[in-house]
Amino acid sequence: MLLALVFVLGLMGVLALVMKRLGLSGQGNMPGTKRRLKVIETAPIDARHRMALIQRDDVQHLVIFGPNGETVVETGIAPPDND
């Protein structure tokens, strides 16, 4: 009985590694679609707070994360031109 349990758990682990290797980890990004959300930069403010510049489509947002939640500092920032 214990051998069967170890076998099934090992099989699940191998299947999870194969799925991760093939990009089927369930992260919500379908093949052929462009990612819309990315973290541009993060910086610590103090021991409990962190500031992040987040980009969605072509708009950037400045957000502070802390133990009591998050605060949007600035929104609608246009990304810099990389010409």
Same domain, 80 and 58: yes
By residue range, what is the domain housing residue 22?
Answer: 1-32
pLDDT, tens only, 13-70: 999 888 888 776 665 556 667 788 999 999 999 999 999 999 998 899 999 999 999 9
**What pLDDT, on the 0 to 100 scale, is given for residue 80?**
81
Structural Rg of the chain based on CA atoms:
20
- For the beta carbon of residue 77, count every other beta carbon within 10 angstroms: 15
- Whether residue 80 is found in the same domain as residue 41: yes
**In terms of domains, do 19 and 48 share one?**
no
Same domain, 3 and 14: yes
- Residues 16, 40, single domain; the answer is no
Do residues 27 and 39 share a domain? no
pTM for this entry: 0.57
pLDDT recorded at residue 31: 64
The answer on pLDDT for 79 being more than 90 is no
Assess whether 50 and 61 both reside in one domain.
yes
pLDDT of 11 > 60? The answer is: yes
What domain count does the chain have? 2
